[in-house]
Every structure is written in C-alpha cells, then in structure tokens.
Amino acid sequence: MTKQIEISIDDPVTTTAERFVEVWNRVESGEELEAERRIVFENPETLFKTLTLERWTLWNAF
C-alpha cells in the first residue's frame, strides 16, 4: 500500500474549513472514507522555504 500526501498552495484556513464540511457531509450520508494526507501552504515562498532540497531528498528516501 502506497501512502500519498497531497501538497498544494492555497489559503490553509479556507481549504481546511471547506474540506471539513465536505467530509462531514459525506460521512453523514453514510459514505465510508479513507484517511487523506494533505499539506497546504499559503504561498510558494513558504512551500519552498519549508520543503528544502535536503528535506525533499529525505522524504523520498522513505
């Protein structure tokens, strides 16, 4: 089983709130969901400051 993490650039607060409501509604309707892994960065600068080449290399090692 491969674990995947979605990385995106967006407003983290808005994105998280929207996803919460979406997932809540899906679960209330009886749908079974798998866990999702997401990291949302506010802008490209923060993304590249956080995920440096060294960290990306380490991440891919696992």
Dump pLDDT digits (tens) for 3-62. 788 999 999 888 889 999 999 999 999 999 988 888 899 999 999 999 999 988 988 887
**pLDDT at residue 23, as a whole number:** 94
**pLDDT at residue 56, as a whole number:** 86
Q: What is the tally of structural domains in the chain?
A: 1
- Whether 46 is covered by a domain: the verdict is yes
Count CB neighbours of 18 within 10 A.
12
**pLDDT at residue 61, as a whole number:** 80
Q: Is the dihedral of CA 25, 28, 31, 32 positive or negative?
A: positive
Owning domain of residue 30: 6-61
Confidence of residue 1 (pLDDT cuts 50, 70, 90): low
- Whether 10 is covered by a domain: the verdict is yes
- Whether 1 is covered by a domain: the verdict is no
